[in-house]
Each structure stands twice: as structure tokens, then as C-alpha cells.
Amino acid sequence: MSGRVLVFDMDGVLVDVTESYREAVQQTVEHFAGRRVERELIQDYKNQGGWNNDWELSHHFIQGFGVEVAYGDVVDYFNGIFLGADGLIYRERWVARDGLLERLAKRFQLALFTGRLTIEAQVTLDRFAPSLRFDPIVTADDDAAPKPSPEGLLRIGRLNPGKDLWYVGDTVDDARSARQAGVPFIGIAAPLNPRRRELIGLFQSENAIAILDDINQLEGALPQ
């Protein structure tokens, strides 16, 4: 087993969620408030930090439009359109090119720290990467405070004593989680991100060791 652990966030890192989670936020807000929130505004909130939970963000937007609705109703509707038989989760696109993660797995132990529920993470891993092993996998179902808390990364570190960790993420909450955990952070700032320049500045302020367009540039940013 490698003495180095490469920890991935999932959304925006391993998977393009533009037409899944981001679309689910838009459709949920439109369903309850009758108005469609722009993706640029969603990214603005992500860049603020503290909005890693898309259920909470959707509920916040709905209330901002002057509509009172129970949080549980928002969660139920969001999950229905996201995880249903023809759910938005099936619009996701796997980012890694063929062979990338397999090569990295020869040099690093692969792990996952994501704000997704376990079932959401597993559906996507089973669909795109059934032969890859991510261990450990820390999700929203685990008893750990959500990002930007470092608790998930610290847990992975405790499960792998004496090993070096790196974390790859795409939000300022990911970067802050890594900084608080004392783990080197590699930021993903996709060229089509509507607030890319601002995001790069945020990553730089959080001392990212590298900022990449996507994970296909990752091999050159990691130690040999």
C-alpha cells in the first residue's frame, strides 16, 4: 500500500455536475418560486463559502424570492429529480481521461471526501469507475462536520497514520478544509466556470500548491 493518499472531492473534480447538481438547484428553485436562478449566482454563493449543501442553497434562494416552504419539502423535491429513474444524476460526465486514475493508483492510495450522500457517490462510481478503489470514502452520511470543516480530511489522516495526504477540490470550502487540516491543496478552476478568475484568487489566498483546469493535468502537479 502506498504511503501517500490522494483525496478527491467529487463534484466539479471527478465529475462535471453542470447538468446534474447545478441544474437540480435551478429546477428546484423554479418549482417552488416560479423563477429560475442563474448559474452565475449559484457560483457566486459557492465562492462565498459555506454553501456546500445544495439543499440549503436551494432553500435559501426560494426564501429570497419571498416564498416560504418547508426545508424537508425542498429536500424531497430535489432528491426526486436528482435520483429518480431518469434523474439528473445520469446527466453527469466523468472528467478523467482513460487511464489517468489507474496510473495515479499505482503511485497513490486513492480516497474520497465529498459532500454527497453515500448513495449518490456510489451510483456515480459504479457507473463510471467500477474497477477503481477509493478507500476510505467520507460522505455526508458520515458523522463529520461538513466542509469547510477539516474533520473529514482529519478522519482520513487518522485512518492512514504516517501517510502524506493531498486534497483535490474545486471550491473555496474545499481549500479551507485542506488548509485547516494541514493538507496540501490542489484547486480545480474549470475554464467555463462563470467566476473562474475570482475562484483562482480564492485558491491563491488559501495557499493552493497548484491550480488546474481539470484533473487531467494532475500528474504534473503531484510529486513523483
Domain boundaries, the chain: 4-16+93-221, 21-90
pLDDT tens-digit readout, 183-213: 999 999 999 998 999 999 999 999 999 999 9
Q: What is the pTM of this model?
A: 0.94
Q: Is the pLDDT of residue 1 over 80?
A: no
The pLDDT value given to residue 7: 98
DSSP state of 186: E
Q: What tens digit of pLDDT does each residue of 74-130 get?
A: 999 999 999 988 999 999 999 999 999 999 999 999 999 999 999 999 999 999 999
23-25-27-28 Cα dihedral, nearest 10 degrees: 160
- Mean pLDDT value across the chain: 95
Instruction: Give the residue from 88, 84, 91 showing the smallest Cα distance to 128.
Output: 91
For 182, the 3-state DSSP assignment is coil
CATH no., domain 4-16+93-221? 3.40.50.1000
